[in-house]
C-alpha cells in the first residue's frame, strides 16, 4: 500500500517549543510515523509519512487541545503519496529557526507579502514587469523551475539576504519555493526593508503541481523533495531517477 506523506509548516509563536518536542515525538511514534519535524519558538516545519489513517490521526492531534491547543490554525499542509517508505526513522528536533535564515531576526507574522493561489499564479507571471524569483538552492533550481524565473544561485537559504541587496525595492516580485516556507521568510525579510509589492505562491510548488493541470503548467522539470522520493513532477508523481551528482 502507498504511504501517505504530509509536508507541513506554520509560523506561530511557540515559547513552549522545548516542552512540546518530546510530547510531539511520542504521538508520532505511537502512530508509527517516520520523518522529521522541527520545532522552534517561531513555529513548526517538517515532513512525516505513514498510513493514511495514521496521518489523519496525526493531523487531528495537531489540531487538538493536548499539543498545540489550537495554535496551528493556519497550518500549511500538502499531502502526497510514496510507493516505498520515504524515511528511515522518526526525529523531532528543537531548533533556533524552522528554516535557517538569520537566527530568527525575521518574523513572517509581521507581514510577508500577498499570497497568490496556484490557480492565479500563471496570470501573475503574465503581468508586465513582474519578476519571478526562485528562493530555493541552486541544485534544486537545476532540477526544475518556472520558465523565466530568476535563479539567485543560492548555496544555502541564508544567502538570499545578499541577493536581496541587488533587487529594486520598487519592483513587483513573485517569490516561490517547494512548500511555501522559504518564500514566506524571504518575503518577510524584503517587506521589512521596504519592498511593497511582494507576492508569494501559496502552498509552494507542490501545491501548484497538484492543482494546475499539466497542459496549463508553466513549470518545467521536476521539484526536489527532502525525502527518499528525490523529486516530484506534475500531479505529484514520483521522479526518483536523478543522478546523485545532480543533487548537490
**Catalytic residue numbers?**
177
What is the enclosing helix (H) or strand (E) of 34? strand 34-40
3-state SS, 125-140, equals: HHCCCEEEEECCEHHH
Name the CA dihedral angle for 181, 186, 212, 52, rounded to a multiple of 10 degrees: 0
59 contact partners, CB below 8 Å, separation of at least 6: 6, 77
Find the largest Cα–Cα distance for the chain. Answer: 52
How many angstroms separate the CA atoms of 107 and 12, rounded?
Answer: 10
18 SS3 class: helix
CB-side neighbour CA atoms (13 Å) of 180: 30
Comparing CA positions, the residue from 185, 150, 230, 224 lying closest to residue 40 is 185
The helix (run of H) or strand (run of E) holding residue 145 is: strand 144-146
d(CA 36, CA 67): 17
Amino acid at each position: 500500500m502507498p504511504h501517505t506523506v504530509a509536508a507541513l509548516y506554520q509560523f506561530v509563536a511557540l515559547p513552549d517549543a522545548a516542552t512540546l518536542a518530546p510530547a510531539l515525538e511520542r504521538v508520532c511514534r505511537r502512530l508509527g510515523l517516520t520523518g522529521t519535524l522541527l520545532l522552534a519558538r517561531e513555529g513548526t516545519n517538517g515532513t512525516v509519512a505513514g498510513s493514511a489513517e495514521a496521518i489523519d490521526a496525526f493531523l487531528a492531534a495537531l489540531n487538538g487541545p493536548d499539543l498545540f491547543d489550537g495554535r496551528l490554525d493556519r497550518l500549511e499542509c500538502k499531502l502526497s503519496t510514496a510507493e516505498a517508505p520515504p524515511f528511515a526513522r522518526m526525529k523531532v528536533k528543537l531548533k533556533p529557526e524552522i528554516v535557517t535564515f538569520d537566527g530568527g531576526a525575521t518574523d513572517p507574522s509581521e507581514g510577508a507579502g500577498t499570497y497568490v493561489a496556484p490557480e492565479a499564479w500563471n496570470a501573475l507571471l503574465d503581468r508586465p514587469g513582474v519578476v519571478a524569483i526562485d528562493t530555493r538552492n541552486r541544485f534544486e533550481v537545476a532540477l526544475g523551475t518556472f520558465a523565466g524565473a530568476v535563479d539567485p544561485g543560492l548555496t544555502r537559504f541564508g544567502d538570499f539576504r545578499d541577493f536581496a541587496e541587488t533587487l529594486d525595492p520598487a519592483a513587483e516580485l513573485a517569490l516561490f519555493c517547494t512548500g511555501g516556507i522559504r518564500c514566506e521568510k524571504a518575503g518577510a525579510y524584503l517587506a521589512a526593508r521596504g519592498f511593497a509589492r511582494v507576492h508569494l505562491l501559496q502552498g509552494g510548488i507542490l501545491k501548484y503541481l497538484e492543482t494546475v493541470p499539466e497542459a496549463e503548467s508553466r513549470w518545467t522539470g521536476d521539484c526536489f523533495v527532502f525525502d527518499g522520493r528525490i523529486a516530484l513532477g506534475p500531479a505529484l508523481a514520483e521522479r526518483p531517477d536523478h543522478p546523485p551528482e545532480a543533487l548537490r
